[in-house]
Structure 1
């Protein structure tokens, strides 16, 4: 964008120091839109080990950086500048904060002499982002640049992963900071809960008659959590996940029952309500995770988390275990193996209930295209592309079906990329860019709605530009699904919720250089998916439009009374 000020000659000093420090700290990718004057993206492009991804819209870039961080499970950088560049990224940063993503935002500032005097493109960025970010700082001295960059990365990855924001004073951009010695990469600092606390928690699990495990988003940092299935077998406990925790357990395991709360597939609520002890791994139990069941209010909760502020935020906690879930889980398993649980008459009944629930859940996958085009589409995705497909999700009315196991089944480690509690429309389109860059050799599928796609449509251009073979599945109800459903039958006047565009989603795909098609039955769907998989391997994106009726509504939505 034009700043209205003459560009300075190229002065690589400060930005070179920023870029080198990022690379030395363990950052591998920087997202952003080039600023008028050479800045971080330019400097980063010349530093070995740093990849630069240019996105033509800061909102999309923020979502792409979030998708990359979630998929690569490493700190990622978003380069911004003061004014509209920064504010345009805020919706994506809101989602990144909700997801607890290690995203480092590095932005410029206007000259200090003009602050408060009608400065061009001035906003108080740090005040604006303060409530969303875990750490903010303004670097205004050359000797502090390298320290501040490294601190931003350290704060992003340690404790609970977080958004951090570093503002580089305009006066520094022409400076030549002294190059510090090459540091070691920023390490994930891992802690083990105290032995006494682990002993106490293990004893509570040993005495439980109907234990239950919940795995949250904290199980994905810094790598896949191992051992949840073993712990479940030791406890004879069902395992549920939050949306962000999906992939912590293989959903093909007999103790896995999918997601909890709003996304629970009936009749798994029977297990949630019957639990007498709940082990929560790396989750705050946000509102959507608590919906539709109540035992979290009354059953003793054992919670493992790296952040002290997580305890008690979502539910009462009887046994808080402050530490890394990747260390705590094997410790709990070791204690349970050394002193096995005493057989109890309820154990057989608890396992029997799990078998009955699993059988009843499988019935929900049995839907043909005419009955439920959404379920038929998701079943085809699993059948043709497999359970290791990297799924990118939205949170619209119809695509919430993607959260329902076993309508769609996820293998261990195949971590879906989903929005957090903010559920911004259009997040998925941008996030699919980052997911595809992080896993270039795996199929990436975005399931979105027609309205969400319109809000993130610019991402299609980025998919073409970067030769990313994402398969975009658009569930098209020709309008705004949630507002339409919540207005249905309501008394009084209300605005229309239909949106019938002259250019449907498949036409948009072709306009942006991809392949677009509309399917109306299982045969055309299978053909479209096979062809899309072939194009994906060649780095070409495809968009498959699936018209859906208003009543193809997910189970959790019906159960919640919406």
Structure 2
């Protein structure tokens, strides 16, 4: 039997038993969570804003594949975290949010910061629960971590009211630690999916965010080789396959490279692995024609898109692929050669664009990405936003994730500032990788006071900030309608100049770019934050993006 002086002490003990190394958050003013962690080895990343804490936790969870922990107060603190939970839910980031709450005896009395937090947060998490008795603390903690990790991973909310701040909690048995279960599909569904694979002559393999950490042995690439099929990913699926593989053809839907569009127009089966097939992933012409069969594999029935015909497999993606490979003969042929040719053609076009802008005045983003690729360490993680000009990295092959690299992108919600803030959690989860956040100045501004958190904690992240003086995407949409008295972007301004502990430089001369990036790499290696600010023009956008007509 183990007795804890409070529910928070029990939570901290369980987190340590689960291997949690860092906790993100901003606790209530009673500070009991901090007292519970005081004499442990847990790292507490004290944030300035609760949304930032959720973003950092999401970045950590997406990078590590393990459940992250976020600690917040009550009332407005719970309201502030909602935006971060929405992003975590759509990103599939397993997070356990531990919140303070109004004591049961004070509910309905107008207590300080009293709010119906359960009603507000339940719709945006996988499971929400309030613990109202000390005997329920231990099972509630165990269930929270179990739910966060299993099925489609996502955020869980656990509320510990003020009654439990100084109430003893007793554990009468050993902790039951969570394990991620990897269910296999049933035999009938497997047989149906195998029949569809055998019948296909021009299949495409599409990997979504649900395949993160599920392709360590290269099952997706082996499946594509066996099928002779091109490999595409959704935005959230970046990093789950080797993007230097000869069958890799970039992103699907809105971000598809023009050379790959004929593949989508002619395909007769899409093998969708761990994707919800959200709007940007199925936008035409970078996706199959309506009515094309889509073989969908997902852990959760709710993650299956009902918009497409074709077989459905409920099960783990990696387990399903291994079952297919054991039964499916090699089928490579002309289709695979066409996929390789499309990838090579996309690479040639981008190489030509880089040669074109290399000698032009000013810094062009295509050339900036070339220099970054040459200067940054090979073992790296690119953390992205989804604004007008940081979307250059979405278009293949301006930036690729090789076998030693990874990429973290926003979900379909594309919360502004997610990438800029999540980069801190990414770095803590991958200390051996170089972490670079490729963001616009509007997104970087959302980091705000939490930039000081990175400085205080010694979290060495490089921010490459594309400064167009505001919200470039909104300005681009406004400009399509002609002149307006409104405006979202203007002359590039400053971002982080003068912030103590931040290495900051503005580079507007391409002759200095290589040198300044190398200096920034050394700064980050020493555990400091570096900001390299690049003034850019609003019209410096990928050619593939000019025809999207306002879709975002």
Counterpart in the other structure of 1:6: none
Q: Given the alignment of the two structures, is residue 46 of structure 1 paired with residue 34 of structure 2, yes or no?
A: no
Q: Given the alignment of the two structures, is residue 419 of structure 1 paired with residue 405 of structure 2, yes or no?
A: no
1:55 Cα offset (Å): 1.5
SS in 2 for 1:474: strand
Q: Given the alignment of the two structures, is residue 559 of structure 1 paired with residue 552 of structure 2, yes or no?
A: no
Task: State which of 494, 499, 510 in structure 2 corresponds to 1:511.
Answer: 499
Give 1:106-121 correspondences, 5 Å limit: 106-121=98-113
Counterpart in the other structure of 2:28: 35
Q: Given the alignment of the two structures, is residue 546 of structure 1 paired with residue 513 of structure 2, yes or no?
A: no
Counterpart in the other structure of 1:236: 228
Q: Output the CA distance in 2 between the equivalents of 1:21 and 1:360.
A: 50
Q: Between 528-537 and 549-558, report the one with greater CA deviation.
A: 549-558
> Contact (CA 8 Å) 2:24, 2:46: kept in 1 or not?
yes
1:214 Cα offset (Å): 0.3
Counterpart in the other structure of 2:370: 379
Q: Output the CA distance in 2 between the equivalents of 1:215 and 1:145.
A: 38
Unaligned runs of 5+ in 2: none
Q: Output the CA distance in 2 between the equivalents of 1:45 and 1:273.
A: 59
Task: State which of 174, 190, 198 in structure 2 corresponds to 1:206.
Answer: 198
Q: Output the CA distance in 2 between the equivalents of 1:79 and 1:86.
A: 10
> Contact (CA 8 Å) 1:269, 1:292: kept in 2 or not?
no
Counterpart in the other structure of 2:439: 448
Counterpart in the other structure of 1:138: 130
| Distance of aligned partners of 1:183 and 1:486 in 2 relative to their CA distance in 1, 3 Å threshold | same
Give 1:105-184 correspondences, 5 Å limit: 105-184=97-176
| Distance of aligned partners of 1:356 and 1:420 in 2 relative to their CA distance in 1, 3 Å threshold | closer
> Contact (CA 8 Å) 2:428, 2:459: kept in 1 or not?
yes
SS in 1 for 2:259: coil
Give 1:329-478 correspondences, 5 Å limit: 329-337=321-329, 340-341=330-331, 347-348=333-334, 351-352=337-338, 354-365=340-351, 366-367=353-354, 368-369=357-358, 370=360, 373-412=364-403, 414-478=405-469
**What is the root-mean-square deviation of aligned Cα atoms in Å?**
2.1
SS in 2 for 1:178: strand
1:386 Cα offset (Å): 4.6
Q: Between 24-33 and 181-190, report the one with greater CA deviation.
A: 24-33
> Contact (CA 8 Å) 2:45, 2:453: kept in 1 or not?
no
1:493 Cα offset (Å): 4.5
Counterpart in the other structure of 2:279: 287
Q: Output the CA distance in 2 between the equivalents of 1:223 and 1:151.
A: 27
Q: Output the CA distance in 2 between the equivalents of 1:386 and 1:544.
A: 16
> Contact (CA 8 Å) 2:101, 2:162: kept in 1 or not?
yes
Counterpart in the other structure of 1:5: none
| Distance of aligned partners of 1:158 and 1:120 in 2 relative to their CA distance in 1, 3 Å threshold | same
Q: Between 542-551 and 86-95, report the one with greater CA deviation.
A: 86-95
Counterpart in the other structure of 1:533: 521
1:542 Cα offset (Å): 0.8
| Distance of aligned partners of 1:326 and 1:296 in 2 relative to their CA distance in 1, 3 Å threshold | farther
Please give the per-residue CA displacement for 1:465-502, whole angstroms capped at 9, x wherever unaligned.
1111111000011122111111114257441223557x
Q: Output the CA distance in 2 between the equivalents of 1:71 and 1:103.
A: 12
Q: Given the alignment of the two structures, is residue 306 of structure 1 paired with residue 294 of structure 2, yes or no?
A: no
SS in 2 for 1:46: coil
Q: Output the CA distance in 1 between the equivalents of 2:35 and 2:348.
A: 52
Counterpart in the other structure of 1:96: 88
Q: Output the CA distance in 1 between the equivalents of 2:124 and 2:460.
A: 33
Please give the per-residue CA displacement for 1:503-527, whole angstroms capped at 9, x wherever unaligned.
60251xx314211111123331111
Q: Output the CA distance in 2 between the equivalents of 1:411 and 1:282.
A: 20
Q: Output the CA distance in 1 between the equivalents of 2:165 and 2:309.
A: 48
With normalisation by structure 1, the TM-score equals: 0.92
With normalisation by structure 2, the TM-score equals: 0.93
| Distance of aligned partners of 1:32 and 1:236 in 2 relative to their CA distance in 1, 3 Å threshold | same
1:254 Cα offset (Å): 0.6
Q: Between 200-209 and 292-301, report the one with greater CA deviation.
A: 292-301
Task: State which of 183, 186, 197 in structure 2 corresponds to 1:194.
Answer: 186
Q: How many residues in Structure 1 have an aligned counterpart in Structure 2? A: 541
Counterpart in the other structure of 1:69: 61
Q: Output the CA distance in 1 between the equivalents of 2:153 and 2:216.
A: 15
Q: Output the CA distance in 2 between the equivalents of 1:296 and 1:334.
A: 30
> Contact (CA 8 Å) 1:26, 1:186: kept in 2 or not?
no
Q: Output the CA distance in 1 between the equivalents of 2:402 and 2:155.
A: 28
> Contact (CA 8 Å) 2:388, 2:541: kept in 1 or not?
yes
> Contact (CA 8 Å) 1:280, 1:302: kept in 2 or not?
yes
Q: Between 83-92 and 426-435, report the one with greater CA deviation.
A: 83-92
Q: Output the CA distance in 2 between the equivalents of 1:356 and 1:491.
A: 37
